Amino acid sequence: MSDEQQEIVTQLRDTVKKVCEEFAGEYWREKDRERQYPKEFVDRLTELGLLAALIPEEYGGSGLPISMGVEILKAIHEFGGNAGACHAQMYTMGTVLRHGSPEQKQKYLPGVASGELRLQAFGVTEPTAGTDTTSISTVAVRDGDKYIVNGQKVWTSRALQSDLMILLARTTAKDKVAKRADGLSVFLVDMREAKKNGMSINPIRTMINHSTNAVFFDNVPIPADSLIGEEGKGFRYILSGMNAERILIAAECIGDARWFIKKASDYARERVVFGRPIGQNQGIQFPIAQAYAQTVAAEAVLEKACAVYESGGNAGTLANLSKMLASEASWAAADTCMQTHGGFGVAEEYDVERKFREARLYRIAPISTNLILSYIAEHELELPRSY
Ligand SMILES: Cc1cc2nc3c(=O)[nH]c(=O)nc-3n(C[C@H](O)[C@H](O)[C@H](O)COP(=O)(O)OP(=O)(O)OC[C@H]3O[C@@H](n4cnc5c(N)ncnc54)[C@H](O)[C@@H]3O)c2cc1C
């Protein structure tokens, strides 16, 4: 990293640290307890332009490379916050940036950069298709100057805190296309209008405060110019955004892992049982050291993924690997942190149990460990595709 980049990282980390100090443990405990959206925290990040870090300067963002987005999200989690409520505002716009028309970019990106427009809902997963995305059944049927959308999405996070949604829908039936990935299209849906015309949103209560929902489309008309890129090519557009998402989620996991490791080490030094700090016992030291080693290794892979991504290379394997390794490292650190705290690990005021629940999610979403292993088997080991 150059001196100039190092300087930016230091500034970003200092800024994030101050925000996290302002919104410390009690803030997150209350939001978790009440299942509330952390609006004040998200507003502060927006004011500081942190969520617009990756939007090019010509559209009002900071035009930073993905490695700086990584630093922001990593720091949020390392300093005790949680970016899950707003990380998508940082990267969902990538679909518009890479595949949108000049008019769409000009229409939406400046508003997303300023925070005036919230583009943080991503409607891909459906209840019956699950991970098998090409089997989704939500359809968009062309009708003159609009499309009519029918179907259902599930686990659509932040739908209630979004003005716009990236929606994946089938525009040509699966049995009428040569490849199952064909015939899917991506739309930028103005949810403010859609909600007046047949879209409904039902929050799902989950073990973590993730503001996620089921979204129903009942004959929802959307203007034809909501289509992003070419009709039928949407699956490719969604895939092309996934490397950025995986890299940025890996950063959050690394931040979580560092938080757990510090919390566990601090407690292990302070807690005295049998007349000595529990951290003097190797049974306590070794799992923390193991999690530390896993975290350092995962972070090295993440840095490599960023370098390939920024150079325009194919970062698929490294993005997947970094997300898998980082989520496993943060889970190891979470488990060790809880064990180190003994009974106090489950007490709300220590924040360990909340972060423990939050960390567990990333082995499942946005892509599960199994599916990453399948990707590696197929793409790196040349083994037959298993699904
Ligand atoms: C809190 C939360 C927020 C989310 N936010 C969003 C969002 O904003 N937008 C969105 O579109 N989605 C979102 N998701 C969905 C998320 O991406 C999916 O939950 C995830 O991709 C897994 O899909 P599924 O839950 O349907 O599991 P399933 O596909 O039913 O899989 C269940 C289990 O079986 C395993 N499995 C399935 N097929 C195979 C196979 N062939 N080989 C080996 N193992 C297999 C999976 O790995 C998984 O462990 C969110 C999920 C959660 C829980």
Residue 84 CB–ligand 1 contact under 6 Å: no
Query: Do residues 295 and 329 touch, judged by C-beta distance below 8 A?
Result: yes
**How far away, in angstroms, is 193 Cα from ligand 1 center?**
29
Whether 241 and 369 map to the same domain: the answer is: yes
What pLDDT, on a 0 to 100 scale, did the predictor assign at position 1? 82
The token duo for 332 is 């190891």
Same domain as 106, residue 87: yes
Distance CA 248, CA 246 (A): 5
Cα–Cα distance measured from residue 221 to residue 25, given in angstroms and rounded to the nearest whole number: 43
Number of structural domains the chain divides into = 3
What CATH number does residue 156 fall under?
A: 2.40.110.10
- Residue 387: what pLDDT? 87
Are 98 and 138 part of one and the same domain?
Answer: no
The helix, strand and coil proportions of the chain, stated in percent and rounded to the nearest 5, come to 60, 15, 25
Domain that holds residue 170: 119-231
Q: In the listed set 175, 198, 231, which residue is the last one of a domain according to the structure?
A: 231
Q: What is the C-alpha to C-alpha distance for residues 96 and 117, in angstroms, rounded to an integer?
A: 13
- Atom 34, ligand 1: which residue's CA is nearest? 370
Q: What is the pLDDT of residue 37?
A: 97
CA distances (Å), origin 96, targets 85, 106, 170, 260, 376:
20, 10, 19, 36, 28
Whole-number Å distance, alpha carbon 365 to ligand 1 midpoint, is: 6
The answer on 182 and 110 residing in a single domain is: no
Take atom 50 of ligand 1 and give the residue whose Cα is closest.
155
CA–CA separation, 300 and 323 (whole Å): 12
Q: What is the CATH number of the domain that holds 94?
A: 1.10.540.10
Q: What is the pLDDT along the chain (387 residues), one digit of tens a residue?
A: 889 999 999 999 999 999 999 999 999 999 999 999 999 999 999 999 999 999 999 999 999 999 999 999 999 999 999 999 999 999 999 999 999 999 999 999 999 999 999 999 999 999 999 999 999 999 999 999 999 999 999 999 999 999 999 999 999 999 999 999 999 999 999 999 999 999 999 999 999 999 999 999 999 999 999 999 999 999 999 998 999 999 999 999 999 999 999 999 999 999 999 999 999 999 999 999 999 999 999 999 999 999 999 999 999 999 999 999 999 999 999 999 999 999 999 999 999 999 999 999 999 999 999 999 999 999 999 999 998
Domain end residue (candidates: 63, 84, 114): 114
What pTM was estimated for this model as a whole?
0.97
Domain termination residue (choose one: 62, 81, 114): 114
Residue 168: strand pairing partners: 186
Q: At what angle do helices 39-47 and 3-22 cross, to 10 degrees?
A: 150
Q: Which residues pair with 203 in a beta bridge?
A: 213
DSSP result, 332-359? HHHHHHHHHTGGGGGSGGGSHHHHHHHH
pLDDT at position 373 is 97
198 and 303 both lie in a single domain: no
CA-nearest residue, atom 38 of ligand 1? 131
Q: Is the CB of 127 under 6 A from ligand 1?
A: no
